[in-house]
């Protein structure tokens, strides 16, 4: 585990850092319904509540494919980061095992490195906005700040 002052970059959500992935099993809620992972809930959020049931009992990979194959809500581009932030906050709650693991990454830079070309949520071939990594680091800062209070 990184200690304060010892900078280790997390460059992808594989191996010992697989738990950072949105595909990692973690029950999260969206509009009163429970989903088995952040990915499932995030993909479900693209649709109106009456069209979300199919995302509850599928794998995260199936949810991702399904989320790409259907017509999504008109306001999606405006709300997707807010939705992801809320799901990340749930997955990494203060006092939870995953929240403690995230806090234990200290001041490491977290990068959602990928090979599938996602340059919005992550970084591919050295390019990308790394929005998911930024959300994770922001949640970690909240967790670390709460530990000091």
- Residue at 36 is within a domain: yes
**Would you write out the chain's pLDDT as a tens digit for each of its 149 residues?**
444 445 689 999 999 999 999 999 999 999 999 999 999 999 999 998 999 999 999 999 999 999 998 888 999 999 999 999 999 999 999 999 999 999 999 999 999 999 999 999 999 999 999 999 999 999 999 999 966 65
- Residue at 47 is within a domain: yes
- Residue at 19 is within a domain: yes
- Residue at 1 is within a domain: no
- Residue at 28 is within a domain: yes
**DSSP β-bridge partners for residue 34:** 29
- Residue at 45 is within a domain: yes
- Residue at 7 is within a domain: no
Which residues span the domain enclosing 133? 15-148
Gap between the Cα atoms of 109 and 94, Å rounded: 20
Measured between alpha carbons, how far is residue 117 from residues 9, 112, 130, 141 in Å?
20, 11, 12, 28
CATH of the domain at 113: 1.10.357.40
Q: Does residue 8 sit in helix, strand or coil?
A: coil
- Residue at 48 is within a domain: yes
Number of domains into which the chain is organized: 1
């Amino acid at each position: 585990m990184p200690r304060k002052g010892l900078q280790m970059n997390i460059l992808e959500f594989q191996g010992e850092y697989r738990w950072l992935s949105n595909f990692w099993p973690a029950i999260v809620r969206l509009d009163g319904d429970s989903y088995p992972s952040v990915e499932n809930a995030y993909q479900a959020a693209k649709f109106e509540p009456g069209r979300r049931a199919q995302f509850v009992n599928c794998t995260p990979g199936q949810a991702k494919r399904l989320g790409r194959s259907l017509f999504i809500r008109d306001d999606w581009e405006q709300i997707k980061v807010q939705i992801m932030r809320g799901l990340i906050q749930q997955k990494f709650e203060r006092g939870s095992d995953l929240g403690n693991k995230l806090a234990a990454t200290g001041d490491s830079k977290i990068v959602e490195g990928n090979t599938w070309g996602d340059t919005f949520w992550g970084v591919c071939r050295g390019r990308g906005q790394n929005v998911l990594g930024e959300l994770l680091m922001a949640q970690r800062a909240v967790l670390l700040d709460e530990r000091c209070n």
